[in-house]
Structure 1
Amino acid sequence: MPTFNSPTADAAEVSEALRGLAHASRVFEDPADTYAVLGDLLAGVRSLRQVLDQLATAHVTHRVRAHDDAGDQTVGATNALTATAELQQAAALLDAVHDRVDAAMAASGRIAWHPEPVQPAQVSRWVSVVFLQGQDADEVLAVIDRDGTDAAIEHLAGFDMGDETTQAALVNGYVYDTIPTGHLDRITTNGEYTLTYNHDHGHVSLLRRQPESQELAAPASRTAPARQGARRQARVVEDDDDWFAPSQSSSMSRGRAL
């Protein structure tokens, strides 16, 4: 609380209050609060202008008592007059500060702050692009070990035929509300693609994010099933058109070798 009679005590309190304001004003939860803060600051600038004037007056009034450390009164009086001039200059500069803050407050008072718009959550589903196991997966796992997951995603993204892949996944039921993963699976995302892989179990899967806003004209997706069911890739009517069934030999399906 201000004392109104002890300049040193009140100055210390002002310093602490300004330090607190500097910390508190880092974030405004309600931007409308800035108007009230500007009003208080404007009043503070006016008071500070008065304080500087009074400090200048005190230096010039008591200059006969001013000495330097060696006891020279002439030098002390000269320093007092110098301090007076600097304080008067600072007070004059505060006039410009006052005018700018006053103009800012007037402009702020003309603002009608609206509530922050609420962005609807972007819900996505996941379309299976390709699932590999055995030797086919080992080749991709080697790419991951050698060049990193981004290189593996870039390679597997080549199997994504866009709408054709999406429709094939819908026919087979490989569209998920959550990313299907199992114990020890590792997951990494790059853009719209998510890669899951497991060195111990020897399999790799690439999924593409499908925003809910993009309607999927096919059977409803299912929530990610248990690990075994999620990895059992059903065949389409024609084997040659199945993008998801793992190969039965050591090499990948036609057109899918690394």
Structure 2
Amino acid sequence: MPTFQNPTTDAAEASEALRGLAHASRVFEDPADTYAVLGDLLAGVRSLRQVLDQLATSHLTNRVRAHDDAGDQTAGATYALAATAELQQAAALLDGVHQRVDAAMAASGRIAWHPAAREPGPVSRWVSVVFLQGQDADEVLAIIDRDGTDAAIEHLSGFDLGEETIQAALVNGYVYDTIPTGPLDRTTTNGINKLTYNHDHGLVSLFRALPETREPDAQAPSARTTPSRPPSRSHAPVVEEEDDWFAPSQSSPALRGRAL
């Protein structure tokens, strides 16, 4: 606790408090706390400005008592005046610091901090959302070069039809324990989506995480452990229709009924 009377003790405590703040402020769990910290720092800058002024005054008013190590009072007074000038200059520079911190606090006070995006749960498998190549892939690769991978993921997310995409991937076998990638492929993740792309071969793929809590369809193929690319498509996967056991064979003429 500050003594408000002993400058040596209070200076040591202030130094230790700032050291603690420097350590604690490495990470802010809630960025909204930065506003309160800026307010306290602003008050601290004002107090530090006052301290520097008072230190300068003390050197100036007590210069007649200043001597160097050899006992020369003139030299000591010269050093006292030099210290006074430097402290006054430092105090003047703090005016600019105060102005900048005050402006930063004003800007920070206008921020409405939103909760951090929730991380996806444990992922056991990935489902293919879309795989593009050729001209379709070139359009997405151009988005990556121009606007970045997040913009490309947002664009490709339009192919994701939610539960329909999951069911189609399960039925068609486009579910992977490990995302299929080639030696020249690049990958990036945004939330539950993972993008893979290859400028050299003109390939783009988007996968969506299938959390461990999702129970697989008992009749669906098991997840592929050997990565292989799904067939190229410019739209979301479609569930294949099952064969009709009662339909006539396509390779033989239809049966004709006979009268008894």
For normalisation by structure 1, the TM-score amounts to 0.53
Q: Which amino acid aligns with 1:30?
A: D
Q: Which amino acid aligns with 1:39?
A: G
Whether contact under 8 Å (1:124, 1:210) holds in the other structure is no
Q: Which amino acid aligns with 1:89?
A: Q
Structure 1 position 221, deviation (Å):
2.7
Q: Give the equivalent residue in structure 2 for 1:99.
A: 99
Structure 1 position 58, deviation (Å):
0.3
Structure 1 position 117, deviation (Å):
1.9
Structure 1 position 101, deviation (Å):
0.3
Whether contact under 8 Å (1:178, 1:223) holds in the other structure is yes
SS at match of 1:113: coil
Aligned with 2:207 (options 187, 205, 211): 211
| Superposed CA offset, 1:187-232 (max 9, x none) | xx98479xxxxxxxxxxxxxxx993579xxxx513379xxxxx99x
Counterparts in 2 of 1:211 and 1:81: CA distance versus 1, 3 Å: same
Counterparts in 2 of 1:3 and 1:213: CA distance versus 1, 3 Å: closer
SS at match of 2:34: helix
Whether contact under 8 Å (1:3, 1:9) holds in the other structure is yes
What is the rounded CA distance, in whole Å, between the counterparts of 2:100 and 2:174 in structure 1? 59
Q: Give the equivalent residue in structure 1 for 2:26.
A: 26
Q: Which amino acid aligns with 2:80?
A: A
Q: Gaps (5+ residues) in structure 1?
A: 128-166, 180-188, 194-208, 225-229, 232-258
Structure 1 position 120, deviation (Å):
3.9
Q: Gaps (5+ residues) in structure 2?
A: 129-167, 184-204, 211-218, 227-260
What is the rounded CA distance, in whole Å, between the counterparts of 1:178 and 1:53 in structure 2? 67
Q: Which amino acid aligns with 2:97?
A: V
Counterparts in 2 of 1:191 and 1:211: CA distance versus 1, 3 Å: same
SS at match of 2:12: helix
Whether contact under 8 Å (2:68, 2:76) holds in the other structure is yes
Q: Give the equivalent residue in structure 1 for 2:154.
A: none
Q: Give the equivalent residue in structure 1 for 2:189.
A: none
What is the rounded CA distance, in whole Å, between the counterparts of 1:212 and 1:78 in structure 2? 73
What is the rounded CA distance, in whole Å, between the counterparts of 1:190 and 1:83 in structure 2? 68
What is the rounded CA distance, in whole Å, between the counterparts of 2:75 and 2:95 in structure 1? 31
What is the rounded CA distance, in whole Å, between the counterparts of 2:109 and 2:174 in structure 1? 53
Counterparts in 2 of 1:48 and 1:210: CA distance versus 1, 3 Å: closer
Whether contact under 8 Å (1:123, 1:211) holds in the other structure is no
Q: Which amino acid aligns with 2:73?
A: Q
Whether contact under 8 Å (1:45, 1:94) holds in the other structure is yes
User: Is it true that 1:12 corresponds to 2:12 in the alignment?
Assistant: yes
Whether contact under 8 Å (2:124, 2:177) holds in the other structure is no
Q: CA RMSD in A?
A: 3.7
User: Is it true that 1:47 corresponds to 2:43 in the alignment?
Assistant: no
Whether contact under 8 Å (2:125, 2:223) holds in the other structure is no
| Superposed CA offset, 1:43-102 (max 9, x none) | 000000000000000001100000000000000000000000000000000000000000
Give the count of matched residue pairs: 158
Counterparts in 2 of 1:86 and 1:190: CA distance versus 1, 3 Å: farther
Q: Which amino acid aligns with 1:14?
A: A
Q: Which amino acid aligns with 1:82?
A: A
SS at match of 2:117: coil
What is the rounded CA distance, in whole Å, between the counterparts of 2:206 and 2:89 in structure 1? 65
Counterparts in 2 of 1:15 and 1:212: CA distance versus 1, 3 Å: closer
Q: Give the equivalent residue in structure 2 for 1:64.
A: 64
Whether contact under 8 Å (2:127, 2:209) holds in the other structure is no
User: Is it true that 1:3 corresponds to 2:9 in the alignment?
Assistant: no
Q: Which amino acid aligns with 2:113?
A: W
What is the rounded CA distance, in whole Å, between the counterparts of 1:94 and 1:210 in structure 2? 52
SS at match of 1:221: coil
For normalisation by structure 2, the TM-score amounts to 0.52
What is the rounded CA distance, in whole Å, between the counterparts of 1:177 and 1:112 in structure 2? 40
Q: Percent identity?
A: 67
What is the rounded CA distance, in whole Å, between the counterparts of 1:78 and 1:213 in structure 2? 73
Equivalent positions of 1:96-135 (< 5 A) are 96-121=96-121, 124-125=125-126
